[in-house]
Chain A
Amino acid sequence: EADIYQTPRYLVIGTGKKITLECSQTMGHDKMYWYQQDPGMELHLIHYSYGVNSTEKGDLSSESTVSRIRTEHFPLTLESARPSHTSQYLCASSQLDATNEKLFFGSGTQLSVL
């Protein structure tokens, strides 16, 4: 069982609100990621971080921003939510073992913007 936690699990908010999705891991992983997933579709990388004070944009353009002030914490913020932001947001962290980098996912936050 991976020690990576996301809160809230579900969030329903109105258009224009500012929201922050929380992600924390207790495994000491340097690398962390945010993915966006719509029903029946593939995961898309929106942000990643290789360590403290490191953040990069992913493959999918996103109006969200992230920060990495502590190794264990990688929050995602939307300054002004819109209905087009409705989606599932998955946080992940990775660890390099002997041969491959293993990716661990949180349970996700299902965001609905009305």
Chain B
Amino acid sequence: KNQVEQSPQSLIILEGKNCTLQCNYTVSPFSNLRWYKQDTGRGPVSLTIMTFSENTKSNGRYTATLDADTKQSSLHITASQLSDSASYICVVSDRGSTLGRLYFGRGTQLTVWP
């Protein structure tokens, strides 16, 4: 069964600290993996997209890694800010149509305290 599992479910950190969010997937075949940030009451916003051949991709203070062999990805946030408080969603796309079918994780709810 194609699934995307994220951990932890929720995380609280202090402002300025780093954190790492995990994503494990069983989706096959695999096309790409995306990380989205979703603020409360808003739609998700894309942070990174990685294909099979990419091991790491950065977007400012966000760095995503991908190990396609173990089917694991992580999102590392450096020097966290209050505005980083949000849900971070891992999404995996299989092959097929140009978009493929998207499998969504339930997200990690990150809270950054001052």
Does B32 sit within 8 A of A, measured CB to CB?
A: yes
A42–B105 touching, CB < 8 Å? yes
The smallest beta-carbon distance between B37 and chain A, in angstroms, is: 11
B99–A101 touching, CB < 8 Å? yes
CB-based nearest A residue for B100: A101
Provide the bound-state CA to CA distance between A105 and B4, in Å: 20
The segment from B38-46, B60-68, B72-80 that touches chain A is B38-46
A100–B106 touching, CB < 8 Å? no
Contacts of A43 in B (CB 8 A): 44, 89, 104
Residues of A in contact with B, size category: 20 to 34
B102–A94 touching, CB < 8 Å? no
The smallest beta-carbon distance between B102 and chain A, in angstroms, is: 7
Q: What does the 1/0 interface line of A29-69 toward B look like (CB < 8 Å)?
A: 00100000000111111000000000000010000000000
Does B98 sit within 8 A of A, measured CB to CB?
A: yes
B43–A90 touching, CB < 8 Å? yes
The smallest beta-carbon distance between B108 and chain A, in angstroms, is: 11
Q: What does the 1/0 interface line of A77-114 toward B look like (CB < 8 Å)?
A: 00000000000001110101001111111111010000
Residues of B in contact with A, size category: 20 to 34
The smallest beta-carbon distance between A25 and chain B, in angstroms, is: 12
Q: Which of B41, B100, B104 contacts A110 (CB 8 A)?
A: B41
Does B22 sit within 8 A of A, measured CB to CB?
A: no
Does B51 sit within 8 A of A, measured CB to CB?
A: yes
Residue from the set A6, A41, A100 with the largest chain B CB neighbour count within 10 Å = A100
A96–B44 touching, CB < 8 Å? no
Provide the bound-state CA to CA distance between A100 and B33, in Å: 10
Contacts of A92 in B (CB 8 A): 43
Contacts of B106 in A (CB 8 A): 40-42
Provide the bound-state CA to CA distance between A92 and B34, in Å: 15
